[in-house]
């Protein structure tokens, strides 16, 4: 029987990111997918600021930036949401196709030694105190023994069903339809969305010669497996838009609904769920792929620490306690966006009110920071205002170089950053995997999205996912020992 440390079911963006995170920590990974090969299809068309920061931390973003288009605004329920003044190096939406994301993440996983095993669906598992045996079906049925199994196998997750984890939420009330096409008679504007009598339609010019056309109907619910032909799509688009722009040569036609569901638990013993396997929702505001990648980065270092015995087992429970509320608020905001997008007099009035409110910087920031996930504030049991927030990409001068914080994060190690002459504490045995960095920073305060300007700390302990575990404003190490044990303490 083959053995590994972690079996990942699903080679979408979530599974690929998780595989790379685990490999950075030296964990053995089997990445399996039920499909015979990658489809090259792109549901998602963009990523947001926090995802870009995470990819920047791992040195992957520079591969994506030239392949995407930077757009200053995203949207909330179709109302423009400008990110330009957000405190990040990436105050924009990067319009980049999911197929490109997957290609780059796959290249990265490959460099780190993981290749997807295709035609390998997970069909069952048995777990006990010592490990888990994962049954793989398909053309080469086999069993893989591992320490953990992670279901990154999408909205219809077999792993979630096999684990008996309920997926609760609301059913579909509206239907979105997509066609990636060429246009004989394209509109003058390459990007726009309009409201019609039964819903809305949009045109997105992805590349010079092809467009994504979208129709969202609120008077129709298509069952999940129903076929949507190109001619059906054309008829629906024509009905709402009054023109078909001469659409032809479809590359992909599909439909989706606004069902919003979330796994009640993200863990069942040695089994975890991440990405769409853990949560589905209407793709309003473009958040799903971002959520999945960020689930993977939150889970990756914790699972690696459990395998490598560099953290207490209880650390694994913080995956659900931290990530479940984040997806729950995405479900909430996408339901709110669906309500805003409905046609009719009442929704029109609501949109008018929201259009006014969104002009207020505070409202725009609140909604934008939620959509971009820049405002995440995990409970790390430390009362410094930086604790739980994402560490900014601070400019730093060390004894050997001028750098930025994100460049220190390439290897996904925990980092104890000592600033402006704070003496290095002697770390107890068992904490050798923590990078201790002494540096000077030119800034007297850091602008933290959602928290305002915070005076630069004297020392800060940053987790491998880029979130602050502990910080202090005064030179000294009050609370550091406790934080080290909570987050990075070795298992007996
Ligand atoms: C129309 C539309 C537009 C969207 N736009 C955006 C956007 O702009 N931005 C954004 O962030 N998100 C967007 N999303 C959401 C995004 O596409 C998903 O959230 C994302 O694909 C989830 O990634 P994942 O890896 O979790 O799951 P998936 O991408 O679904 O990958 C799951 C993988 O698991 C495999 N699998 C299934 N069953 C098994 C099994 N039993 N064993 C092994 N493997 C299995 C599948 O073959 C698949 O490869 C959009 C979604 C839709 C529908």
What pLDDT shows up at residue 487? 94
| 68 in contact with ligand 1, CB cutoff 6 A | no
Q: What's the average model confidence in pLDDT over 290-316?
A: 94
Distance 185 CA to ligand 1 centre (A): 32
Atom of ligand 1 nearest to the CA of 256: 53
**Of 329, 328, 348, 330, nearest in space to 339 by CA:** 348
Residue with the smallest CA separation from ligand 1 atom 50 is 44
Alpha helices in 309-453 (DSSP H): 317-341, 345-357, 361-372
Per-residue model confidence as pLDDT tens digits over 400-435: 999 999 999 999 999 999 998 888 888 888 898 899
| 287 in contact with ligand 1, CB cutoff 6 A | yes
| 288 in contact with ligand 1, CB cutoff 6 A | yes
| 289 in contact with ligand 1, CB cutoff 6 A | yes
* Residue 46 CB contacts under 8 Å (≥ 6 apart), including other chains: 68, 71, 74, 93, 94, 95, 96, 286
Secondary structure E strands in 218-313: 247-257, 260-263, 267-268, 271-273, 279-280
Residue 52, phi-psi category: left (phi > 0), alpha (psi -120 to 50), beta (remainder): alpha
Q: DSSP letters along 99-152, please?
A: HHHHHHHHHHHHHTT--EE-S--EEEEEE-SS-EEEEE-TTS-EEEEESEEEE-
Distance 8 CA to ligand 1 centre (A): 14
Rounded CA separation 345/139 (Å)? 55
Is residue 240's pLDDT more than 60? yes
* Sheet of 210-217, strands arranged across: 191-195, 199-207, 210-217, 175-183, 247-257
**Of 59, 34, 55, 33, nearest in space to 101 by CA:** 55
What pLDDT shows up at residue 369? 97
Expressed in angstroms, the distance from the first to the final Cα of the chain is 28
> Are 261 and 324 spatial neighbours (Cβ–Cβ below 8 Å)?
no
Per-residue model confidence as pLDDT tens digits over 368-383: 999 999 999 999 999 9
What pLDDT shows up at residue 426? 86
Is residue 61's pLDDT more than 70? yes
**Coil/strand/helix, residue 363:** helix
Distance 289 CA to ligand 1 centre (A): 7
Residue 476, phi-psi category: left (phi > 0), alpha (psi -120 to 50), beta (remainder): left
Per-residue model confidence as pLDDT tens digits over 266-281: 999 999 999 999 999 9
* Residue 206 confidence class, pLDDT cut points 50, 70, 90: confident
Is residue 492's pLDDT more than 60? no
| 11 in contact with ligand 1, CB cutoff 6 A | yes
Is residue 198's pLDDT more than 90? no
**Of 110, 61, 491, nearest in space to 311 by CA:** 491
Least confident of 99-103, 177-181, 481-485: 481-485
What pLDDT shows up at residue 491? 60
Per-residue model confidence as pLDDT tens digits over 342-377: 999 999 999 999 999 999 999 999 999 999 999 999
Rounded CA separation 248/259 (Å)? 30
| 373 in contact with ligand 1, CB cutoff 6 A | no
Buried b (16+ CB within 10 A) or exposed e, 171-184: ebbbbbbbbbbebe
Distance 276 CA to ligand 1 centre (A): 6
Is residue 220's pLDDT more than 70? yes
- Residue 166 has a CB neighbour count (10 Å cut-off) of 12
**Coil/strand/helix, residue 63:** helix
pTM above 0.85, yes or no: yes
Is residue 138's pLDDT more than 50? yes
> Are 288 and 274 spatial neighbours (Cβ–Cβ below 8 Å)?
no
- Residue 121 has a CB neighbour count (10 Å cut-off) of 18
- Percent of the chain whose predicted confidence (pLDDT) is above 70: 100
What angle (nearest 5°) sits at the alpha carbon of residue 29, between those of residues 26 and 30? 165
Q: What's the average model confidence in pLDDT over 238-259?
A: 95
What pLDDT shows up at residue 149? 98
> Are 23 and 12 spatial neighbours (Cβ–Cβ below 8 Å)?
no
Residue with the smallest CA separation from ligand 1 atom 1 is 43
**Coil/strand/helix, residue 71:** strand
| 202 in contact with ligand 1, CB cutoff 6 A | no
Per-residue model confidence as pLDDT tens digits over 64-91: 999 999 999 999 999 999 999 999 999 9
Distance 403 CA to ligand 1 centre (A): 35
Distance 280 CA to ligand 1 centre (A): 9
Is residue 227's pLDDT more than 60? yes
Probe target for ligand 1 pocket from 73, 162, 178, 276, with the most ligand atoms within 8 Å of CB: 276
**Of 142, 409, 437, 431, nearest in space to 300 by CA:** 409
* Residue 225 confidence class, pLDDT cut points 50, 70, 90: confident
What pLDDT shows up at residue 196? 84
* Residue 378 CB contacts under 8 Å (≥ 6 apart), including other chains: 322, 388, 467
| 10 in contact with ligand 1, CB cutoff 6 A | yes
Distance 159 CA to ligand 1 centre (A): 15
What pLDDT shows up at residue 423? 87
Is residue 457's pLDDT more than 70? yes
């Amino acid at each position: 029987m083959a053995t590994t440390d972690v079996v990942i079911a699903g080679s979408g963006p979530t599974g690929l990111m998780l595989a790379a995170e685990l490999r950075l920590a030296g964990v053995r990974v089997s990445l399996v997918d039920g499909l015979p090969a990658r489809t090259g299809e792109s549901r998602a068309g963009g990523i947001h600021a926090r995802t870009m920061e995470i990819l920047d931390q791992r040195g992957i973003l520079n591969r994506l930036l030239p392949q995407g288009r930077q757009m200053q605004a995203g949207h909330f329920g179709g109302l423009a949401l400008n990110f330009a003044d957000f405190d990040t190096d990436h105050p924009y939406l990067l319009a980049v196709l999911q197929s490109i994301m997957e290609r780059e993440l796959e290249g990265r996983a490959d460099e780190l030694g993981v290749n997807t095993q295709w035609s390998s669906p997970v069909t069952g598992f048995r777990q006990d105190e010592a490990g888990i045996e994962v049954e793989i079906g398909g053309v080469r049925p086999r069993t893989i023994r591992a320490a953990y199994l992670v279901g990154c196998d999408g909205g219809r997750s077999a792993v979630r069903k096999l684990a008996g984890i309920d997926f609760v939420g609301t059913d579909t009330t509206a239907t979105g339809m997509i066609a990636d096409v060429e246009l004989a008679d394209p509109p003058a504007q390459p990007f726009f969305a309009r409201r019609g009598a039964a819903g809305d339609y949009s045109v997105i010019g992805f590349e010079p010669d092809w467009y994504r056309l979208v129709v969202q109907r609120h008077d129709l619910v298509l069952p999940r497996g129903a076929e949507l032909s190109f001619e059906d799509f054309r008829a629906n688009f024509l009905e709402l838009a009054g023109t078909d722009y001469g659409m032809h040569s479809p590359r992909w036609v599909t439909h989706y609904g606004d069902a919003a569901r979330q796994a009640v638990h993200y863990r069942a013993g040695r089994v975890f769920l991440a990405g769409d396997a853990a949560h589905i929702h209407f793709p309003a505001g473009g958040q799903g792929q971002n959520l999945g990648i960020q689930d993977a980065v939150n889970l990756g270092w914790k699972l690696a620490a459990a395998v490598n015995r560099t953290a207490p087992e209880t650390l694994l429970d913080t995956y659900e306690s931290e990530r479940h509320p984040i997806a729950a608020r995405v479900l909430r905001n996408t339901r709110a966006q669906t309500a805003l997008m409905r046609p009719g007099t009442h929704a029109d009035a609501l949109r008018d009110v929201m259009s006014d409110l969104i002009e207020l910087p505070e409202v725009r920031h609140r909604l934008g920071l939620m959509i971009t996930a820049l405002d995440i504030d995990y409970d790390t049991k430390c009362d410094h205002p930086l604790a739980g927030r994402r560490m900014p990409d601070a400019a730093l001068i060390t004894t050997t170089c001028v750098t930025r914080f994100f460049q220190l994060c390439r290897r996904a190690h925990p980092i104890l950053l000592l600033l402006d002459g704070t003496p290095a504490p002697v770390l107890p045995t068992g904490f050798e995997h923590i990078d201790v960095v002494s540096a000077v920073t030119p800034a007297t305060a850091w602008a933290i999205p959602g928290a305002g300007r915070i005076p630069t700390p004297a020392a800060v302990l940053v987790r491998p996912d880029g979130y602050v575990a502990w910080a202090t404003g005064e030179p000294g190490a009050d609370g550091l020992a406790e934080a080290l044990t909570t987050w990075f303490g070795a298992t007996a």
